[in-house]
């Protein structure tokens, strides 16, 4: 059986459609991937709100493909709207697409940190500082203690997809990880980090995850599949 995965992505995103398939290709299951795009170039409150307004069209398109699961794959677009927004978005999408598993990158990250029992976390984000603070505040409203965070101050979403891995690792090395239970190496589905996760776990000595690994975990669990993938960090290392 092939599971059809629907991805709702910003038009300028080029990473989620590579990292999610790369992750799920390591699973014994069979998957196909089907995307619908929302216009967005600059990661700003105005463009994020305008992008979210395109959601219903995207869900209708994916519904036509009869997807088994859909991932609303823009973490900051949801978190910038205020605490608890991922629940409201997921509920609205379920009403529109009742026969599919409905997930969001924002909700997937919250769920993944809960699975890891990571009450104290550190973050690397590509966002400008005001948006990064909203992400921090969102996680704090969910009950997590953000011990330290970095904002790389990139607002062009196409450029976010080109941030080199060494810059991401340098930002992580600059964090105070004292007392942290986990490190979110990329709190954004557009900032590439999949190739870094395993090495980062060895270097920092704590669980490392990303928006992409959290999304893959949520997709697999939502479909009732074992969420175990090699070379993808502690979150996906074993059955729970």
Phi/psi for 92 (5° steps) reads -65, -40
What is the CA 171 to chain-centroid distance, rounded?
A: 18
Catalytic: which of 5, 48, 74, 189? 74
Catalytic: which of 188, 196, 232, 236? 188
Is 188 catalytic? The answer is yes
Query: Helix, strand or coil for residue 42?
Result: strand
Query: Helix, strand or coil for residue 37?
Result: strand
What is the CA 25 to chain-centroid distance, rounded?
A: 18
**52-60 long-range contacts, Cβ below 8 Å, gap at least 24?**
52/77, 52/78, 52/81, 55/8, 55/89, 55/92, 55/93, 56/96, 58/8, 59/8, 59/93, 59/96, 59/97, 60/96
Which residues belong to the active site?
A: 74, 188
């Amino acid at each position: 059986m092939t599971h059809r995965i629907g991805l709702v992505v910003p038009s300028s995103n080029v990473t989620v459609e590579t990292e999610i398939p790369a992750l799920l290709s390591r699973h014994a299951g069979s998957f196909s991937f089907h995307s619908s795009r929302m216009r967005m170039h600059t990661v700003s409150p105005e463009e994020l709100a305008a992008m979210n307004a395109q959601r219903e069209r995207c869900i209708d398109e994916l519904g036509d493909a009869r997807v088994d699961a859909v991932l609303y794959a823009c973490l900051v677009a949801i978190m910038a709207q205020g605490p608890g927004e991922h629940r409201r978005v997921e509920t609205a999408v379920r009403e529109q697409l009742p026969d599919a598993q409905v997930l969001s990158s924002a909700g997937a990250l919250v769920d993944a940190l809960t699975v890891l029992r990571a009450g104290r976390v550190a973050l690397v984000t590509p966002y400008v500082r005001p948006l990064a603070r909203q992400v921090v505040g969102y996680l704090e409203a969910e009950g997590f203690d953000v011990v330290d965070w970095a904002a790389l101050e990139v607002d062009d979403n196409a450029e976010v997809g080109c941030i080199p891995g060494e810059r991401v690792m340098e930002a992580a090395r600059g964090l105070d990880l004292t007392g942290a239970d986990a490190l979110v190496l990329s709190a954004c589905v557009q900032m590439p980090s999949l190739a870094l996760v395993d090495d980062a776990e060895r270097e920092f000595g704590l669980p490392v995850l990303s928006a992409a690994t959290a999304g893959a975990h949520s997709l697999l669990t939502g479909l009732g599949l074992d969420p175990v993938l090699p070379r993808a960090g502690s979150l996906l290392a074993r059955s729970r």
